[in-house]
Chain A
Amino acid sequence: MRAMVYRGPYKIRVEEKDIPAIEHPNDAIVRVTLAAICGSDLHLYHGLMPDTRIGHTFGHEFIGAIHEVGSSVQNLKVGDRVMVPFNIFCGSCWFCRRGLFGNCNNTNANNYAVGAYYGYSHTAGGYDGAQAEYVRVPFADVGPSLIPDWMSDEDAVTLTDACPTGYFGAQCADIVEGDVVIVFGAGPVGLYAAKSAWLMGAGRVIVIDHLDYRLEKAREFAHAETYNFTEYGDIVLEMKKATDFFGADAAIDAVGCEADGSFFQHVTASKLKLQGGGSPVALNWAIDTVRKGGTISVMGGYGPLFSNVKTGDLMNKGITLHTNQTPVKRQWPRLFDHVRNGYLKPSEIVTHRFPLEHINEGYHVFSSKLDGCIKPLVVPTAA
C-alpha cells in the first residue's frame, strides 16, 4: 500500500509499505477513504515530539471502510463505513471506564502520561497512522462508529479530532451564561472552540491570532470578535481594556507548543528545541488575560519537558486549569445532534484536499500557512 512516512524534521515522502495485519482478536484493518492533517501533526513534522522514528506514518483523523476484522470483533463487519476517534482506547481500564478515553492505560507501552493515538510517534504508543491507504484499528468494538447516513464525509473526518476538541475545549472552560471567553488560536481547534463557546451560553467570544485570513474565518464561522496580536504592542493590556479591566472569565489555549508572538520563546522552543515543553506564549497570555478566579482550558499540545510557564500568576490569580486529550467518542452523541440541527457545520473550515501522493505539499502549505490554508484533507490513492 502507499503510505506517508517521516524522514526527519520537515521531511516526508510516500513509500510502499505492507498492508497492516490483524495483531489482536479485537483489531480491524480499515481502508482509509479520507484523512486530514491536524495542527498536532505539525509538532511531529517539525521534529518536536520525542521518539518520532524515521519511517513512521502520521495521521490520526480519518474515516474509512472496514477491510478485515479480528476474531472477537462483534460490532463491525467488512464493508462498514466508519469514523474513528483519534484515541486508541480499550474501553475497560480504570480510566476508560470513567470516560477518560484519551488516557487509556492499556494501549501505550511507551508511556504512562500519554494516551495512545494513531500515527503520533512512539511517545503516543508506536502505532502507524492513517495518512495511508490502510490502517490498523485496535479495539474495533470500542473506538469506531458507523458514519450516520445523513453525515457528509468531510463532516465525519473533522469529527474524529479537531471539532470534538474545540467542543471539549469549550466545556473545559466551565462557561456560564454571559461569560467573556478569549480563544487563543484561530486554527481548526480554536475556530471550533469559539463556535462551541456560544453553545454553552458565552456572552462574548474573542479570538486572537496573527493570521488575518483565519481571523476572518473566526468572524464568519464563529461569530467572534477578533484581534491580530501583531497589531498591538501588548495584547494582554489590550484584552484588559476590552473587558473593562476585568480580564476574561475564561480563556482557551488552542495554540500549543509552537506559539508565536515572542521571537525568543518561539525560536528557543520550536526551532532550537531548548524548551522541551514548547513555546508557552499563548498559555502565558491566557494566564495574564483571564480574570482573577477565572478558568483556562488548555487544548494546545505541548512536549513532555519543561517550558517557561508563568506559574506565579497562575497561582496568585486563583486560576482553575482544565486540560486533556479529548475523549472524542464521549462528545459524539451530543455533537452529532448539533451538526444535525445545523448549529455547527464542521466542514465549513476545510480549505484544501491533497492527494496522498502530494502530501509533502500538504504539510508544507499547512505548516507555513500558505494559500489561506485552515484545514487540509488527504485523499488516499485507492479511495
Chain B
Amino acid sequence: MTVTGPYTAQRPPITESAEQLRERIPGWGADLDPINRPSATRLQWQENTGAHWEFPEQQVERWPRERSVEHRMLPPVFGTAQPPRWLSGAIRKYSYATYSEGRAVRWLLFTLADRVDAVENHLVSFLRLRPDNPITETGVLSEFTHHGLRSRFGQRRADPKHQWLDPVIVAGPWVAAAGVATSGVRKLVGAVRH
C-alpha cells in the first residue's frame, strides 16, 4: 500500500489549483504577500496616527475617578459614564485601588458589585415609579414576531438545551427574594401571634 499523509514528508496537494481558486473566489490571493497585510508585522511604527501631541492634554477630573492600582497615574483621557456610588461603588473603588489584574479577588469583587448594583438600581426604580419590566426589557415578545419556535425546533441547534435557563437567571433572584420576604413575613406574623 502507498503511505500518505503526515507519515511521510509529502503532503497531498489540495484539490484545487491556484488558478481554479482565483477563478472561483473573487480576490483569492490578493494578500498572499504578507507585505499587503496591514498587521502582518504586529508591532510596527505608525508615523501618521493623527495625534498632534507628544502626550495628550489632561481631561479635567470632575469627581475622584476610580483608577486601577496598575496605573501609576490617571490616564489623560477617561470615561465618565456611571460614576461609582452607594455600596456597589464602594466595592468597585476598593477593588480597583487594591488588587492587581493577577488577583482573582479583584474580578470576583466586581462580579459581586454588579449584583449589588442591580439590587440598588431596582429598588431605586421602584421609588422613581419606573420599575423594571422583565417582559419588555428582555425583549421576549419578539419570540412571537420573530419565529421563536420555528427558529429553534426542527433544527440541529445546540442551544435550546440550555436556553430554558435564561428566564431562571432573569427571574431567579426575584423569586428567591420574594421567597425570603414571604418567609420573613410569616415568621413575623407568627411571632406577633405568639
Contact = CB atoms under 8 A, between A and B. Distances in A.
Interface string B149-182: 0011001111101110110011000000000000
A67 interface: no
Interface string B38-66: 11101111100111111111011000011
B37 A171 contact: yes
Given A107-B77, A334-B31, A364-B140, A112 B11 contact: no
B165 A267 contact: yes
B39 A168 contact: yes
Contact of B25 (A98, A100, A223): A223
Contact of B77 (A90, A201, A229, A276): A90
27 contacts: A7-B118, A54-B121, A55-B81, A56-B82, A92-B56, A99-B39, A100-B43, A109-B66, A109-B79, A110-B67, A126-B78, A142-B49, A171-B37, A177-B29, A198-B25, A198-B29, A199-B29, A199-B30, A200-B37, A201-B28, A331-B39, A344-B27, A360-B138, A364-B138, A364-B139, A364-B143, A368-B151
Contacts of B155: 211-212
B82 A246 contact: no
Contacts of A171: 31, 37-40
Given A55-B82, A199-B30, A201-B31, 20 more contacts: A13-B132, A24-B77, A26-B57, A50-B111, A53-B117, A57-B81, A106-B56, A180-B14, A198-B27, A199-B27, A211-B155, A228-B156, A245-B5, A330-B39, A334-B37, A338-B30, A342-B27, A360-B142, A365-B142, A370-B152
Interface string A81-111: 0000000101110001111100001111111
A25 B132 CA distance: 38
Interface string A357-380: 000111111001111110000000
Interface stretch (A28-36, A182-190, A258-266, A312-320): A258-266
Interface of B: 4-6, 11-14, 16, 18, 21, 24-32, 36-40, 42-46, 49-57, 59-60, 65-68, 70-71, 74-82, 88, 92, 96, 101, 104, 107-108, 110-111, 113-114, 117-118, 120-122, 132-134, 136-143, 145-148, 151-152, 155-159, 161-163, 165-166, 169-170
Contact of A90 (B51, B66, B152): B51
B51 A142 contact: yes
B66 A271 contact: no
A112 B146 contact: no
A287 interface: no
Interface size class of A (residues with CB under 8 A): 35 or more
A204 to B, nearest CB: 6
Contacts of B28: 198-199, 201
Contacts of A331: 38-39
B53 A92 contact: yes
Interface string A107-124: 111111100100000110
A335 B30 CA distance: 11
Contact of B76 (A90, A98, A273, A344): A90
A343 B5 contact: no
A50 B81 CA distance: 15
Majority DSSP secondary structure for residues of A touching B? loop
A74 interface: yes
A230 B12 CA distance: 29
Contacts of A178: 13-14
B54 A92 contact: yes
A245 B11 CA distance: 11
A12 interface: yes
A373 to B, nearest CB: 8
B105 to A, nearest CB: 11
A178 B56 CA distance: 46
A93 to B, nearest CB: 8
Nearest to B101: A113
A341 B57 CA distance: 40
A297 to B, nearest CB: 11
A56 B170 contact: no
B107 A304 contact: yes
Contacts of A11: 132, 134, 137-138, 170
A47 interface: yes
A132 B24 CA distance: 41
Contact of B43 (A9, A98, A365): A98
Query: Closest 5 A-B residue pairs measured CB to CB?
Result: A343-B27, A126-B79, A364-B139, A91-B51, A91-B49
Most chain A beta-carbon neighbours within 10 Å: one of B82, B133, B162: B82
A331 B142 CA distance: 36
Interface string A50-66: 11111111000000000
User: Interface centre among A107, A335, A344, by most B CB within 10 Å?
Assistant: A107
